């Protein structure tokens, strides 16, 4: 099993930046692909970004390309989401997720087996 704990959310003005972190338990972190998703009230949980198990491949939603950057440090069992040029539309709960490497899609909520509790990001205009 993998336990995930997100941190780094908060309130920021439009145009600002935040860096989210997701710390994973367990010694097999490097065998999991990692993803970030977000969910606004009343809406579905949507894909934001993902990174492959060794960090060699990254994937982004069109809405965040060029503004967000996902990275991982397998020695620290941590995945990051650097968010720049934030917009009010980025306001949501942000969730870290893990799926076994070589399985499923990077983009689908249903493809991820483990989820964190989420961290709130609020962007004011």
Extract the tokens encoding 94.
Answer: 């942000």
Residue 5, CA atoms < 13 Å, CB-side half-sphere: 5
**Contact present, 109 and 47 (Cβ < 8 Å):** yes
Band the pLDDT of 3: cuts 50, 70, 90: very high
pLDDT one-digit tens code per residue, 43-91: 999 999 999 999 999 999 999 999 999 999 999 999 999 999 999 999 9
Rounded to whole angstroms, how far apart are CA atoms 125 and 112?
A: 33
Rounded to whole angstroms, how far apart are CA atoms 38 and 90?
A: 9
Rounded to whole angstroms, how far apart are CA atoms 82 and 90?
A: 13
């Amino acid at each position: 099993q993998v336990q995930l704990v997100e941190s780094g959310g908060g309130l920021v003005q439009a145009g600002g930046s935040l860096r989210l972190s997701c710390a994973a338990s367990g010694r097999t972190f490097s065998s999991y692909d990692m993803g970030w998703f977000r969910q606004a009230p009343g809406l579905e949980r949507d894909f934001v970004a993902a990174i492959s198990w060794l960090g060699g491949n990254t994937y982004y939603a069109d809405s965040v390309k060029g503004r967000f950057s996902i990275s991982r440090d397998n020695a620290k069992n941590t995945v990051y989401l650097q968010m720049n040029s934030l917009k009010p539309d980025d306001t949501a709960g942000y969730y870290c997720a893990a799926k076994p490497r070589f399985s499923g899609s990077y983009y689908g909520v249903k493809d991820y087996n483990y989820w964190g509790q989420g961290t709130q990001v609020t962007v004011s205009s």
